[in-house]
Amino acid sequence: MFRLILAGLFLFTGLFVATTFADSESARVQAETFFTAEQIEVGLHYAFQRRLLMWAGIFLDLGFLALLIATPLTRRITDRCERLVGGRWLPALFVVGILFFAAQALLHFPLSFARFRQSQAWGMTSRDLPQWLADYAKSLAVGAVEAAILLVCFYSLMRWFPRRWWLAATALGAVLAAAYAMLLPVVIEPIFNDFAPLSQTSWAHLEPMVRELVDRAGVPVEEVLVVDASRQTNHSNAYFTGFGATRRIVLYDTLLKGHSPDEIASIVGHELGHWRENHIYKGIALALGGAMIGFFVLSRILLWALGRGALALRCPSDPAGLPLVALLIVLGSWIVAPVENAIARSFERQADQAALELAHQPEAFIEAERKLAINNKSNVAPNPFSIWLFASHPSPVERILMAKTWVESRQSGAGK
């Protein structure tokens, strides 16, 4: 176990160095075509600070989990919890889960606070400390409920089907994913923000334009909403959310304040492109395929770990295995991250193409990408390895060049 932990430490240290301190001169030169030297430096410096905080959290997680797995601490805590609840499995699982969740929350609080302070320093949030603490408490409460549901559901399957639980877990994952996607916009998101129909805001004059794009895309969008994102951040963004009867397009109020109608049309077209290409259904299907493989590997490792090491698991559903499950999930997410991100970038390129086809505003598309990158202090000159490992979206420069290529192809086609 010590050798595995040491190997993991070397691996993540190498990834940390390669993605944090390596610049790409070619990416910088390419970005200079569309951004000033100051904008490029701001994006690089802001991303560098965020990356340091991210890696601090990763090493903290790995160290914490390694401590719980490689020492008798978890086994002792679990045994005491079982004695406390009279040997009953479900209450013991709850107590161990609560302790584990609380310990992780305490460990991560300083880093979460550091991210908040960094956002304040860079002018990316107007929240004061009490407002941030209120939102942080809400996120912890929501996270605790979600974690409790997942813990009980999947550990119950482990208990009922010690060797075949991974099949049932995949089926249950499909149900939970669909339910979460459906409930997210109507139950969870309103906890943190207020939403209003676009037609009932000061940007109501944009409603006909949006509806025309919706009709052109042939996508049955239930609602187009505006969220009061400015109460938390100065980022500009838009996103699609929901499932079935709850699907909707959400526009940040910061986006509406800072962009022209043509730029907004281009951004709405991008979100409609996600729906037109059925990305949410494809994403769930691909995630379930990956989950089935992951659950199978996890089930084999848990069976192998029975009676071994400091954890000395008695069965796959032993609550003492929770840190091992968490560590394997972390490692598994890193293994599949490049594939997931490559698929996500492919989806985003398809949505960009849809934005150009639906809005017919390539210049507005380009200007919107520039503004989004500048306002969000995006890294417009990332090194290729960071893109491969972390990026779920194409870089701003790639998206701008794609729009220019689209224009050129249209012009050359019209000339024939």
CB 275 within 8 A of CB 347: no
**pLDDT higher than 60, residue 293:** yes
Residue corresponding to tokens 């956002």:
119
Give the rounded percent of residues in the chain with a pLDDT score beyond 70: 98
* pLDDT of the residue at 237: 85
Comparing CA positions, the residue from 137, 149, 140 lying closest to residue 180 is 149
Residue 193 has pLDDT above 70, yes or no: yes
* Contact criterion met (CB below 8 Å) for 256 and 274: no
Q: Contact, 7 vs 367, CB < 8 A?
A: no
Q: Where are the domains of the chain?
A: 2-195+276-414
Percent of the chain past pLDDT 90, that is, above it, reads: 71
* Mean pLDDT over each residue of the chain, to the nearest integer: 91
CB atoms inside a 10 Å sphere around CB 23: 12
The predicted-structure confidence for 41-67, as pLDDT tens digits, reads as follows: 999 999 999 999 999 999 999 999 999
Q: 359, 216 in Cβ contact below 8 A? A: no
pLDDT given for residue 236 in this prediction: 85
Mean pLDDT on 109-121: 96
> Is the per-residue pLDDT at 178 higher than 80?
yes
pLDDT at 413: 65
Torsions phi, psi for 72 (to 5 deg): -75, 0
pLDDT of 415 > 60? The answer is no
Question: What pLDDT score does 112 carry?
Answer: 96
| 2 band by pLDDT with thresholds 50, 70 and 90 | low
- The mean pLDDT of 249-262, rounded to a whole number, is 92
Tell me the C-alpha distance between 186 and 96, whole Å: 31
Asked if residue 416 has pLDDT above 60, the reply is no
- pLDDT-based confidence at residue 275 (cuts at 50, 70, 90): confident
pLDDT of residue 4: 63
Instruction: Give dist(CA 200, CA 145) in Å, integer.
Output: 33
pLDDT at 181 over 90: no
pLDDT in tens, 231-253: 888 888 888 887 777 788 899 99
> Is the CB of residue 305 less than 8 Å from the CB of residue 378?
no
